[in-house]
Amino acid sequence: MNKNKRAIVIGASSGIGKEVAQLLVKEGWTVGVAARRVELLQDIGAVETEAIDVTQKEATVKLRNLIKRLGGMDLFFYSSGIGKQNRELQENIELATMETNAVGFTRMIGEAYRYFDERGEGHIAAITSIAGTKGLGPAPAYSATKAMQNTYLEALEQLSNAKGLKIRFTDIRPGFVDTALLNDDFHYPMMLKPEAVAKDIVKAIHAKKHVRVIDWRYRILTALWQLIPRWIWRRIKL
């Protein structure tokens, strides 16, 4: 049991974030949850809730308020993000993706890091994606922001170690998951269930994994992707 442990889950209104929040509650964590649509957070069983839009500047102040109401934070779990295929490179889709997945991610992960820096220890876990492995033509901004997230977490881990802080990081990279994020007409292969993904995530957090690709099929796939030279990759039609 984790009765004395406190976790905050950002992006807990649906999908993976909600499933992880519910698992943490069942394990005995004291949980605070946040999302843009606060009305969707009521059935999780969390102690505290907060309406947070990660694209807004006041999101960091709201996070600090949530931490204070919860009595502190040991685990920061980040699950917010958007993504769409954008083969036509529509400007509004690309910029909205950048605003949420790059700026919003940096804003919230950065604030969690600063809190743990003050405290001297903590655990930051964030959902990124296997899409950060290579630039994906059907989703340029999405794959670019996911690669940025991977690199940002790696950089913070190095920074934390250099400062002698006890901050742990878990970069969680799922493949295709059956959530509202994938609600278009495209048929996605090797679709994962959010419940199974959430269980894998919680295990990875307990095991203090640095990087966790979910599941074994995607671990093989991304390993193969990394072996493909750029001159071949740029000619592949996805």
- Residues designated as active site: 142
Whole-angstrom Cα Rg for the chain:
17
CA 19 to chain CA centroid, Å, is 13
Q: Answer whether 21's CB lies under 8 Å from 35's CB.
A: no
**CA 150 → CA 43, 120, 134, 183, distances in Å?**
31, 23, 12, 24
Nearest-CA neighbor of 171 among 148, 138, 194?
148
Strand order of the sheet with strand 75-78?
Answer: 48-51, 30-35, 6-10, 75-78, 121-127, 166-174, 211-214
Q: Answer whether 10's CB lies under 8 Å from 36's CB.
A: no
**CA 78 → CA 51, 124, 169, 222, distances in Å?**
14, 8, 11, 22
